[in-house]
Structure 1
Amino acid sequence: MHVQHLIVGAGFAGLCAAIKLQEDGETDFLVVEKGPDVGGTWRDNTYPGAACDVPSQLYSFSFAPNPEWSMSYSPQPEIQAYLRSVAEGSGTLDRFEFDTRFEEATWDDAAQVWRSRISGPAGERTVTSTTLVMGAGSLSEPKLPEIDGIETFQGDLFHSARWNHDVDLAGKRVAVIGTGASAIQIVPELQQVLEASGGHLDVYQRTAPWVIPRNDRRYGALERRALRRLPLLRKLYRTGIYWAHEAYVPAFTVEPRIAAPAKQAALANIRKGIADPELRARVTPHFEIGCKRILRSNTYYPALAADTTELVTDPIAKVTGNAVVTADGVERPADVLVVATGFHTTDLPFAEHVTGTAGRRLADVWREQGMAAYKGTTVPGFPNLFVLVGPNTGQGHTSMVFIIEAQVAYLRDAIRAMRERGLRAVEPRERAFRRWNANLQRRMKRTVWTTGGCQSWYLDEHGRNTTLWPKATFTFRRNLARFDIDAYDTHEERTA
């Protein structure tokens, strides 16, 4: 089977690519998705309390506004329903294959195509394509903690991104490992269930996060009606939210002291939610705000202060069949172990399955040189490979959808350029690639993510931030506004 474009993943990125390619008349594409539906992260993360921490007026496609959001920070079921609605209305779903895994892809230099092996309900087969668009995302593969004995735990154990809804938590002793973005949404929900049923909650904290109030509110019927009927109002909402969030950028990239108001709001949030001075001290971070992702919650601190909750800050030494043991020798019984320890972000799993020119795997290249791409999207030695949500495209303050749309625009312009010039393949020149990433890393040295005094999932094993974009998002969009073919080696169509 041959298609012009093979797209891997059906979350925000893959869906955006499919819709925009179709708009351009590039209808010969296939989208493969390992799950049973569109949605990606928002299909998989169904844990209690799951919601977006960016207002949904911004965390949605600019070309598909939704006036029906019930709240300013929409819960997971609404976001998943939104993506399903957009997909159904796009006329592209006939080229999606669900429950189909991308196994591997190899560049065939002689034929100038990607040869990809996929497996699903139709069996295992090879698909050749001119371009390979990776929309698998950076928050798709859960990362399990390396804790001695965790494999011997005899109770129920699951990652927050693979929530087991068949487990009845009532009256149980539940342990949550991690205090990141997912955990602060999960903990208040579990605390209420366990308090009402005579259960107990242990929360294992390695590093205290900064948590500011969540200024959430419900949209009334009149407001939704106005958003439905007045496109200009929707645009004003989206624009206002965008610039309010963009105001964080100087604090992250120029001068951390600019974030003083946010820091004071976070400290006030602690004082409001926790009365005990000792517990307040344990949840107060010792690094600059913004060094790790700033979290939002009004209920996290009250949940930690509840009589049925214990915050554990001693390191975990091991897990036994029915307990978690900390370094001080204390053994805390557990019936359920919830692992909220994030995802593979600096070692994107798909890279293990992509082989470019000279037979080199992308994962091996990145292990040697560090995860990097030209404009976060293309890589030397991997012709016609376009990575959406690639290296140094992540955001610590705003919507990734903005970045995805910029990358898809770059992809579209690349395909147009290839059509117009009769090109079979394009790949970024090594010089352009190195210049782009050297500039990124120079700028990164001045950011709070490097100087803020924390260890975060933004950093790889060498301490390099290969995850985030160190400038304003409008500069990213400007850099990808057109396909700069002069920065690429090109291969023309072969003629008989």
Structure 2
Amino acid sequence: MKLPPEPEICIIGAGFAGLCAGVKLKEAEFTKFTIFDSNSEVGGTWLVNRYPGCACDVPSHLYSFSFAPKPDWTKHYSSQPEILEYLKDVTRQYGLYPHIRFQTRVESLRWNANSLKWIAVIHNTLTNEKQTLAYDFVISGVGMLRIPNYPEEFCKFTGELIHSAVWNPDVDLTGKRVGVVGTGASGIQIVPTIVDQVDKLTVFQRRAPYLMPKIQFEYPEVCKWALTKVPGLRWATRATIFWLQELLYIGFQHNTVGAKLVEKISTVQRRSQISHEMLRKKMTPNYEFGCKRILPTNDYYPAIQKPNVNIVSGKIVQVKDKTILTDDGASTDLDVLILATGYKPHDYFAPMNIIGKNSEDILHTWKTEGPKTYLGTVCSSMPNYFSLLGPNTALGHSSVIFVIECQCDWMVRLLQFMQKRDMYSFSVKEAAEDDFMHFYDEGHTKTVWGNANCGSWYVNSKGKITTLWPYNLVSFWRLMNGLNTEAFDFK
């Protein structure tokens, strides 16, 4: 049995990862692929997240594909609408729309050891029809920040309840008593955007976040012209941003001078922007810098000092009708409650069910034992399966688009290697997987993520980091730049 000239490839997700996979496959002349997405348009997280103030916290010229530069970004940090339009433009430019089946979910995958194919159950949510199809390879681009986290206690709230990831634009916040639960990436963008619209705004803060100044500006037309016309300027701009972001990595090393220096920037911002001593104390984190995501913003501290804002740091102990009770005795009546409570990254690819080699239930294994991968891209229990931006590959300091491109380039090299040698399937050896996981775990012993406890979503229920890449991006590029075929069993 050998790999057919045109293998059938299933891509799950039409966000950055799925679209990148489609582009790279087309360039390598693998054209028989289908991208499945449960939404009605491309964009993934940048389609479904539409909350007020939604924007990226990585500079625009780095949070984009290297093969599809956009010289006319409006701002240094882009908003959700502009990123979504960029992804639509990429999809049109590279002719991916004909390959996409929208409003269609891959419900389950099962590895067939006899045919060496993945058997997929596909569900069209418009017609409610289901199909069973066979694929030579599967590429997962579903990402980790996809399933909204709804803490159970808030289901008892009888007012308007909105999750930031499922925003309801029909709810009018004007003149309302509004509560925001959470001060992560979405919370610190929502609060400054709605503060002048609402009557009273209560922010329920579990742990104060570390903030950093946001170097935000609009690109003047002359800059856009130069980035379009001047040879090499676009590349130099992207490279400069890349290396500046790489420098931030020193801030995530455990107990180092570099980390203390970066933390100092956050401290200076807090002291200069918050005038009231008691509020400044309330907004000072009590955990090591970098343990949770560092949030760039210039307007959050000024927003929470407005007279209609109250910060509640007490633990929420009860939700009764429209009232939130905390353990410090505070009682807050609300009309609207906004949950900026993030996602469930450790649900991985759920609700999709995957049965891998030897009938292994992959989701059960990953939830009970933690995921094991090789290069954060393939798994010994899932032959012919690629995971883009899955376990072990998220970042705390730079652009995940770089990671996705590295993974897609490596994936194409592996497929081309197999095609030239008439190979039909690959399975990474467990020894190679174990070696990589040892390298991965060892890396975290030197980072703040592996040494601090702050309730971060980076850590699973067992206290193990399964999400973040522990090294800088240059290290990831070096690993992915080659192809160690000795790490695989081929058929």
Matched, 1:35 2:45: no
Q: Which residue of 1 aligns with 2:299?
A: 299
Q: State the alpha-carbon separation in 2 of the partners of residues 44 and 458 from structure 1.
A: 22
Map of 1:48-447 to 2, 5 A cutoff? 48-120=52-124, 121=126, 123-147=129-153, 150-194=154-198, 199-253=199-253, 255-350=255-350, 353-447=353-447
Q: State the alpha-carbon separation in 2 of the partners of residues 351 and 474 from structure 1.
A: 34
Matched, 1:46 2:50: yes
Contact 2:142–2:349 (Cα < 8 Å) also in 1: no
SS in 1 for 2:106: strand
Displacement of 1:420: 1.3
Displacement of 1:388: 0.3
Contact 1:104–1:118 (Cα < 8 Å) also in 2: yes
SS in 2 for 1:349: coil
Q: State the alpha-carbon separation in 1 of the partners of residues 255 and 62 from structure 2.
A: 26
Cα deviation code 1:106-147 (max 9, x no counterpart): 111111110111111462111210001000011111111232
SS in 2 for 1:346: helix
Q: Which residue of 2 aligns with 1:494?
A: none
Q: Which residue of 1 aligns with 2:3?
A: none
Displacement of 1:359: 1.4
Cα deviation code 1:144-200 (max 9, x no counterpart): 1232xx222221112111111000000111111100011100110111212xxxx11
Contact 1:352–1:362 (Cα < 8 Å) also in 2: no
Q: State the alpha-carbon separation in 2 of the partners of residues 190 and 251 from structure 1.
A: 31
The answer for unaligned runs of 5 or more in structure 1 is 492-496
The one-letter code sitting in structure 2 at the alignment partner of 1:376 is G
Q: State the alpha-carbon separation in 2 of the partners of residues 352 and 27 from structure 1.
A: 25
Contact 2:253–2:259 (Cα < 8 Å) also in 1: no
Contact 2:110–2:120 (Cα < 8 Å) also in 1: yes
Cα deviation code 1:335-358 (max 9, x no counterpart): 111111111213313375111022
Contact 1:41–1:139 (Cα < 8 Å) also in 2: yes
Normalising by structure 2, we get a TM-score of 0.96
Q: State the alpha-carbon separation in 1 of the partners of residues 252 and 275 from structure 2.
A: 31
The answer for unaligned runs of 5 or more in structure 2 is 1-5
Q: Cα gap change, 1:275/1:54 in structure 2, threshold over 3 Å: closer, same or farther?
A: same
SS in 2 for 1:269: helix
Displacement of 1:214: 0.6
SS in 2 for 1:22: helix
Q: State the alpha-carbon separation in 1 of the partners of residues 195 and 486 from structure 2.
A: 57
Q: State the alpha-carbon separation in 1 of the partners of residues 279 and 361 from structure 2.
A: 48
Contact 1:141–1:344 (Cα < 8 Å) also in 2: yes
Question: What value does the CA root-mean-square deviation take over the aligned residues?
Answer: 1.5
The one-letter code sitting in structure 1 at the alignment partner of 2:38 is K
The one-letter code sitting in structure 2 at the alignment partner of 1:293 is R
SS in 2 for 1:325: strand
Normalising by structure 1, we get a TM-score of 0.95
Displacement of 1:280: 0.4
Q: Cα gap change, 1:267/1:389 in structure 2, threshold over 3 Å: closer, same or farther?
A: same
SS in 1 for 2:34: strand
Displacement of 1:372: 2.4
Contact 2:9–2:136 (Cα < 8 Å) also in 1: yes
SS in 1 for 2:161: strand
Contact 2:60–2:73 (Cα < 8 Å) also in 1: yes
Between the aligned residues of both structures, percent identity stands at 38
Q: Cα gap change, 1:101/1:352 in structure 2, threshold over 3 Å: closer, same or farther?
A: closer
The one-letter code sitting in structure 1 at the alignment partner of 2:188 is I
Displacement of 1:368: 3.3
Matched, 1:23 2:15: no
Contact 1:36–1:98 (Cα < 8 Å) also in 2: yes
Displacement of 1:273: 2.4
Cα deviation code 1:235-272 (max 9, x no counterpart): 11100000001012233236533033332221222223
SS in 2 for 1:7: strand
The one-letter code sitting in structure 2 at the alignment partner of 1:426 is F
Q: State the alpha-carbon separation in 2 of the partners of residues 231 and 16 from structure 1.
A: 25
Query: In terms of mean alpha carbon deviation, does 474-483 or 16-25 score higher?
Result: 474-483
Displacement of 1:43: 0.7
Displacement of 1:78: 0.4
Q: Cα gap change, 1:102/1:352 in structure 2, threshold over 3 Å: closer, same or farther?
A: closer
Displacement of 1:287: 1.8
The one-letter code sitting in structure 2 at the alignment partner of 1:463 is G
Query: In terms of mean alpha carbon deviation, does 454-463 or 13-22 score higher?
Result: 454-463
Displacement of 1:469: 0.8
Cα deviation code 1:395-442 (max 9, x no counterpart): 101000000000001111111112112111111111111111012112
Q: State the alpha-carbon separation in 2 of the partners of residues 373 and 352 from structure 1.
A: 19
Q: State the alpha-carbon separation in 2 of the partners of residues 367 and 31 from structure 1.
A: 26
Map of 1:4-23 to 2, 5 A cutoff? 4-23=8-27
Q: State the alpha-carbon separation in 1 of the partners of residues 308 and 70 from structure 2.
A: 40
Contact 2:52–2:193 (Cα < 8 Å) also in 1: yes
Displacement of 1:375: 0.5
Q: State the alpha-carbon separation in 1 of the partners of residues 354 and 61 from structure 2.
A: 35
Query: In terms of mean alpha carbon deviation, does 351-360 or 424-433 score higher?
Result: 351-360
Cα deviation code 1:200-258 (max 9, x no counterpart): 11101101110011110110011111111124111111000000010122332365330
